[in-house]
Structure 1
């Protein structure tokens, strides 16, 4: 495919407001959307704000919405669009705009801090941890997350209902809880922390209705819904409705 002129609509503005602006810009073979945004900066709008770092699909910085779909700009090839197509680039809708394509994603870091960290087993010293590979593989997939927050952006619980943000951690961090709950050496239960109960009661697991939209936009191909959220829901339900747990709670309440 030789060079051609593409039509772009790019959102420009700040917290007070903004809108889409039209541009025509050159596209060359093998380029990605981030290349075109950089060309716009270099040739037409030098003050266009965009966040990026590695340009290799590993830092998660260049998240945006391209034709309405949450994507990494550095991993979205121009060849997937026709030459006649107008390409629209807008900031992540679920988070407040800082300027142009840059959004304030601090919500995600606040949620990360709310999740209790891995609790090492007290009987083992650092360097003595041993795990079976099959146990490691259960949660190893989730470690591929690059924290691009595309799953958070596309989740309608966060995206369409601002009032849910206080009570809902979102798929990225519910996946983190699931990862810790699956960890064969996590000793949180010994400290009185029940990750399954807190996932439901404190981090909003019940808000998730498993539409799989988070899985569909994950650039790392993590099966967030099938391998993390659904199993976590099942374990939380088992815990909540376990008759022995119910009886133990009832006895403790009577004693107190």
Structure 2
């Protein structure tokens, strides 16, 4: 087994402030960044705070920024870096620091609560739902989300403009709206909820300028921009600006 010493620069601090601290840590073949952070805890910095759980790329807990790129520490192999490279590990920049590599991501849970859930079709019991396979496949991709919030962190609308957070749900939750809007059994519209309108007017869909940075950092390789955000934008624009759709909606709302 090959062993070498790697240079790590890890952010240490809390809500009062902090900075980068340099460490030299042993690395073995096949290890990932989270392994090295654990070794650092065991040998040099026992009070280093880091959030993790499954170490299998499925819980989303160990999100951080590695050399400036949002990544999962458990899925970032040391072999992708050269041995003489200084590896910098910092907390997610878009969210407030709690301590060291742990950030307060409660913003995301607040946004999740703002999105109305699936509306069951009236008169159909849950066990009687029927869908074509092609209708299942479309939103199924979005169900792979592990809520690592890397897409939220890298989105410049959230990352660079704190003032936008109140009006912008972010790519993860706009994707959730798109998933529900594509669901053939979602009866939101019959219940008086226009998901396309609320995406635009209440969750900030218009702030997204489809740079695809959210797609680039997704560890599940969900095509967030191409398969969720762009189609949702197209449907929202049709609903709001297409004169034929507008006329159809007006006629459809006429009462006898």
TM-score above 0.5:
yes
Structure 1 residues 170-219: Cα deviation after superposition (integer angstroms, max 9, x where no partner): 00000000000000100000011000000000000000000000000000
Report the counterpart of residue 2 of structure 1 in structure 2: 2
Q: How far apart in 1 are the matches of 2:188 and 2:249?
A: 19
SS in 2 for 1:9: strand
Which stretch of the first structure deviates more once superposed, 58-67 or 236-245? 236-245
Report the counterpart of residue 72 of structure 1 in structure 2: 72
1:160-175 to structure 2, matched below 5 A, reads: 160-175=160-175
Structure 1 residues 63-111: Cα deviation after superposition (integer angstroms, max 9, x where no partner): 0000000000000000000000000000000000000000000000000
Displacement of 1:248: 7.2
SS in 1 for 2:239: helix
SS in 1 for 2:89: strand
1:22-101 to structure 2, matched below 5 A, reads: 22-101=22-101
Q: How far apart in 1 are the matches of 2:81 and 2:249?
A: 58
SS in 1 for 2:45: coil
Structure 2: tracts of 5 or more residues without a match: none
Aligned length: 253
1:240 matched to 2:233 = no
1:120-131 to structure 2, matched below 5 A, reads: 120-131=120-131
Structure 1: tracts of 5 or more residues without a match: none
Q: How far apart in 2 are the matches of 1:196 and 1:23?
A: 50
Displacement of 1:247: 4.5
1:224 matched to 2:236 = no
TM-score using structure 2 length: 0.96
Q: How far apart in 2 are the matches of 1:249 and 1:161?
A: 36
1:140-151 to structure 2, matched below 5 A, reads: 140-151=140-151
Displacement of 1:126: 1.6
Q: How far apart in 1 are the matches of 2:130 and 2:237?
A: 30
Contact 2:238/2:245 (<8 A) preserved: no
Q: How far apart in 2 are the matches of 1:69 and 1:243?
A: 43
Runs of 4+ in 1 over 6 A off after TM superposition: 248-252
Report the counterpart of residue 208 of structure 1 in structure 2: 208
Structure 1 residues 118-148: Cα deviation after superposition (integer angstroms, max 9, x where no partner): 0000120120000000011111000000000
Report the counterpart of residue 116 of structure 2 in structure 1: 116
Displacement of 1:2: 1.1
